[in-house]
A and B are shown apart, each in its own frame.
Chain A
Amino acid sequence: MTMRKSVVLAVVMSFVLGLCSALLAETTVNAKVDRTEISEGESVQFTIEIKGDASSLPALNLGQLPDWQVYSSGTSSNFSWINGRTEQSKQYNFILSPTRTGRLNIPAFRLTIDGKSYDTPQLSVMVNPVAMPQSRNVPPTSGRQRAQTSQQQQLSRDDLLLRCTVNRDTVYVNQQVTLSMKFYYRVRLLANPEPRIPQRTGFWAEDLGQWRSDQETLNGRDYNMAELRTALFPTAPGTQTIGSAEMNVVVDDGSSNDPFSFFNQGFPGYGGGRRLTLKSDPVKITTLPLPEAGKPGDFGGAVGQYQMTALVDKNKIEVNEPLTLHIKISGTGNIKSVGIPKVPDLPDFRTYQAGDDEKVEKVNYQVGGTKTFDQVFIPKRAGSYLLPSLRFSFFDPQARMYKTVTSEQIQVDVAPSKDRYASQVQNVQTNRIDLTAKDIRYLKTSLGELRSRRSAPISASPWFLIVMYMLPVLGYVAVLTRQRHKERLLSDVGFRRLRQARKLADSRLAKAKSLLDAADADSFYSEINRSLIDYFADRYNLPGFGLTADKIREYAVGKQSDVLVGQLLDLLQQCDFGRFAPGGSEKTQMTHLWESAKRLIVELEKTR
């Protein structure tokens, strides 16, 4: 595979992997209910779950929903932090209590996360009227009871009674009121009764166990009794009515003397027996609002009696090491409605709510339990810190006042991370940096030399560097060249004569000029002749002595132009004529000769 193909393949693979990763990392929002069909008076848990980065989400408020009363039951988070990568999911939990029967919708909600909108699906829940056959919950009449009642053939009005009572008729919002539904009977029942639980709109209901049976004397008469208790917590102040409870029963009215009637027992509608429907009176409850006077700022709606503890899983940690604070609230009251106490912002820690857990207990028909919240703290810096005490406020209906419980402050010692510390120790040893200092060093008091904000040092300029570094190199090359020149002048005679030919010729021409001015014709012509002959001899490294016109012509063939050689020979002839011809020479003639000689040397110099 060629290099080019490998690169293309790598790019394509990276793109595909990146696309898959991006899709996998997408934020998803979902909503669900724990049940899609409930009975009137029951509630559903509605959960909105966000997977992905939900750190920037504000608190979620559903507001008012038609057909539903909404109660927030807190949030829970899960996160993992591996190799610097955070994966989170967050759940917003709500308790929805229906205000009517039928198929009720939970509308879709639009959440905006990091500028993107997400819609939850619309859900529907079937709310049935309380007519669910619960005969299995009502304890069947025992054989002994049947024996007692089988003798009574005539039914009286008091033989069957259905009564609903509450343990108190005036309560505060979210204070427990216990509803007791009692079924009294003193006749033989041919089938298990079918109860119909009263409508409890406006209350948060919590079952307090199964039907229990007993015997009870009422108005001087002995009855078999079956009782079902329910804890109710009013959700709003005002007068609420608990509707009528109903009970469908089949009693023995004497028509079942058929010896084979036992075949029909337990099958209402077949054979004998009389079907009756009992109905209780509605019960009115007066719900008082919680007093405004003395309401603490951190009050979140809890009513009852509670205690709180806060413990950490460890007191000594390192920077970036998670620490879990377990906040535990326990007591009596509607524990499901208890929210997390406000955890103060700690600038030296990053905090995450890691989840919550609740355990509902029903002791002596009193609802209570424990709710635990886990808060994770991740220290940003080393040091010794005090996690401040937490406050939890509730309304105590017995004392009729608000109470606040607080947790203890917790000392946490955070050591620098070992990895980091190791690298810093390295720095300390190398650079003698005082990391044991408690604070940074003080300011500079002088502004110093102002520079342009974007000015770079001159050494960052490539041209500057090139020029500056070339200077010594060029200097060295110059010295080297000069040295070599000098060495050649010393060692190469021909080169030295060649290099000096012009200089010597000029020197002789200058001397000839002075002779011309002095009108010394013989010496002038000799000097001109000498300068020309010596120049040619130096130029071609020839011996100057005995260099005649013929030798010059012979030597110059192929090395010098015929014209210039001709001019040279002509000038030499003029010199000879001037020196040896009688009658002297005109100065103008001599000047012309001097100029011609000078011009010829210049021309010959050009042919080098």
Chain B
Amino acid sequence: MSGETTTTSWKAKAEFYFRAVLENLLPIAILLGIWEFVSWNEWVPPQLFPRILTIFFDMVEEITDGVLLTHIGTSIVRLLISVFFALIAGTIIGIVMGASRTFEWMLVPVVNFFSVIPGIALFPATILFWGLTEQAVVITISFATSIPIILNTWVGVKTVNETLVHAARSMETKGLALLLKVLLPGSLPVVIAGWRIGIARAWRVLLAGELLASPEMGLGVRIFDAQETLNSAVIYGGIIIIGFLGFAMERLVLRSLEVATVQRWGMMREL
């Protein structure tokens, strides 16, 4: 019986990264190409639907001014802080709910109650408490983000293959050790899916927060300011930046995590 050998060549590595970039950017490039084609023909009035190149040059101009990068940086910091709290709290609460009948019974109605409430509807309440501050924004985003993470983690833990739990229990694994050694890694594919949904929700609530709490800086602030001056290039530019940041975060962080864990372990099919 022969063992396994591992091979890594520079050629294979280069090919992997080239393919990754191509596969991820090509669909978006095609979409932007269609946009450019439509706006270049002026099938839609250019005031409403500017050319991609115009949007792009506006962006470059703002970047050299230094304003755009501050907007982006402020939004990303807000998002990352909120997501950090939501990931930790949401995952822990979800695991505990999936592992303990008492917690499940106590929390399922509460979580389901809040899951239907849009993040934007929570702002008036958090602003009452914390005023028009960063805390109000971060707390609201964290709260809204943790809900889908909790629900996914809970289902993930409950659907961990029962024989695995049996095997672990037969070797005297229980309580916290069972949570950390078996239930968390066993539910990781579903947990990561929950993080995906959660982070997407965080972006949405962030933008709503930047509109309602109207801080000085942020991508949302920029878009809503541009709306007042009817600057469509900045509006679309803002939307494109948000979409691109969210997409890049998902690919670079979550997808990489998936490849390094559940896909490497063979718990998730490669396509």
Partners in one complex: no
B residues in contact (CB < 8 Å) with A:
none
